[in-house]
Amino acid sequence: MDVKSAIVGGGLTGVSLARFLHERGEDVVVLEREPCIGGLCRSRTEAGFTFDIGGSHIIFSRDTGVLSFMRTVLGENREERTRNTKILYKGSYVKYPFENGLFQLPKDDLFFCINEFIQNLIAVETGRVPPPRNFAEWITATFGRGIAGCYMLPYNRKIWNFPLENMSHHWVDGRIPRPPVEDIIRSAIGIETEGYTHQAVFSYPVRGGIEALIHAIAEPISRYIMTGFPVSRIREENGTFTISDGRRDVKADRLISTIPLQILLPCLENVPDNVQAACDALKYNSLCSVFIGVKGKVPEFSWVYIPEEEAGPFNRISFPSGYSTRTAPPGHASVLAEITFNEGDAISRMQDPEIIDHVMQALEKIGIIPDRNAVVYTGVERQKFAYVVYDLDYRKNIEIVREFCSERKISLVGRFAQFEYLNMDGCIRSAMDFAGLDR
């Protein structure tokens, strides 16, 4: 097979990019190693329950072009919900974001948070706070010691499973804003405020879980997608790439990779030692998603952040049965628990039944499920590549790998190809930009 562009990887980025290039009249093929497309946006439907295997996904964005595209391709297979999200703090459910729920804190904690925020703000404005050297220092310099110590530091330690003092802070600029002091004061005295308003109303597919979005995007180019094609070797000669799975070859004038760099580089020939070392040094987290189906009801929350270690191994729990009328059987509800882990740690060594038992104990203790007798379905999915971790050497190492790929004329698009912490909308935007679309 000879094509203009070969896209390696059939996740959200790969199928979106293939569609955009196809719309521009370009000859394209997508090569996906798994039997089905979707990557981290695949979903599992069993016993009447639908769960997203890569953790809870919802459809929202500040990017109006991307948001319009996602809503349009789903058409009528879409429902909207108003966010009702909480943080479990000292046994109580506090409004999310944390700084918008300060009035619900114990009085001593409330004073600590508001006093430290204002003292820190004064110190910043008078130049008495030095530039942060790492992510931990950035959190304290942005929110003050109160909000940082009560919520931001413990939650981020849990989700990243990596020392925050060893993480860069460059990636949070613009992603996590400093809350206005007016909102902090309003929140402290109980006046309703809203943070992250771009996700206050979100969408979700009625049927099929988040994977329905992938199939809707892929529908016009489905005949150009080859599943069950695990790329094992990539060669370039005289301006033509030959991509092989050991049995079949695809020849292309242009190679676009959307797969993790750690999978791409072993497929290439003559990778210099320093490039391989830089790739090996890039940090990432894995994700264990635990699915619980129950008979009866669960709290009417969208999702809940869990910063405290003693509350359970998960950093977030979500409630897919509240996202759509078709994600759980009538009279039933569902809970999805997300656990960040790394190879060699305690979670990675647990068998699925042990993890499920651990999660059910914790959910029962914090009052999410009434008791184990209500549980009618359980499941576990693990994703090796889930979160990009920005350690202090990230920028040095990623630049080495990107420069090498650029020299080899290999384009990198998407979360683990660019090795950037992109949400779904960011992945689609990266594909749009690469295709030169103005949406």
pLDDT tens-digit map of 98-114: 999 999 999 999 999 99
What pLDDT, on the 0 to 100 scale, is given for residue 66? 98
**Tokens matching residue 369:** 């499920």
pLDDT value for 173? 73
Domain ranges of the chain: 2-41+206-280+394-435, 98-195
In the predicted structure, residue 158 carries a pLDDT above the cut 90: yes
Instruction: Tell me the three-class secondary structure of 81-115, residue by residue.
Output: EECCCEEEECCEEEECCHHHCHHHCCHHHHHHHHH
* Token pair in block for residue 274: 């320093």
Cα separation of the two ends of the chain? 32
pLDDT in tens, 193-224: 888 888 999 999 999 999 999 999 999 999 99
Lowest mean pLDDT among 236-240, 285-289, 402-406: 236-240
CA separation for the pair 398, 416 (Å, rounded): 11
pLDDT at 439: 61
Q: What percent of the chain has pLDDT over 90?
A: 94
Residues near 376 by beta carbon (within 8 Å), at least 6 away in sequence: 47, 293, 294, 295, 332
Residue 1, pLDDT above cutoff 80: no
Task: Report pLDDT digits (tens) over 278-312.
Answer: 999 999 999 999 999 999 999 999 999 999 999 99
Task: Tell me the two tokens of residue 320.
Answer: 């897919």
Average pLDDT over residues 374-395: 98
Q: What is the mean pLDDT of residues 324-336?
A: 97
Rounded to whole angstroms, the Cα distance separating 332 from 52 reads 17
Q: Report the distance separating Cα 183 and Cα 193, nearest Å.
A: 6
- Inform me whether the pLDDT recorded for 438 exceeds 80: no
Q: Taking residues 135-155, report their average pLDDT.
A: 97
Instruction: Please tell me the predicted confidence (pLDDT) of residue 198.
Output: 86
Domain range 2-41+206-280+394-435, its CATH number among 3.50.50.60, 3.90.199.10, 3.40.190.290, 2.40.40.20: 3.50.50.60
194 exposure class (CB count in 10 Å sphere: 0-12, 13-18, 19+): exposed
Nearest C-alpha neighbor of 41 from the set 342, 422, 376: 422
pLDDT tens digits along 88-97:
999 999 999 9
Residue 179 is predicted with a pLDDT of 86
As a whole number, mean pLDDT of residues 165-194 equals 89
Q: Give the sign of the dihedral formed by CA 250, CA 9, CA 63, CA 66.
A: positive
Kindly state the tokens that stand for 224: 């150009």
Mean pLDDT of the chain: 96
CA distance 313 to 243: 41
Task: Read off the pLDDT band of 27 (50, 70, 90).
Answer: very high
Local confidence band at 423 (pLDDT 50, 70, 90 cut-offs): very high
Q: Give residue 147's pLDDT.
A: 97
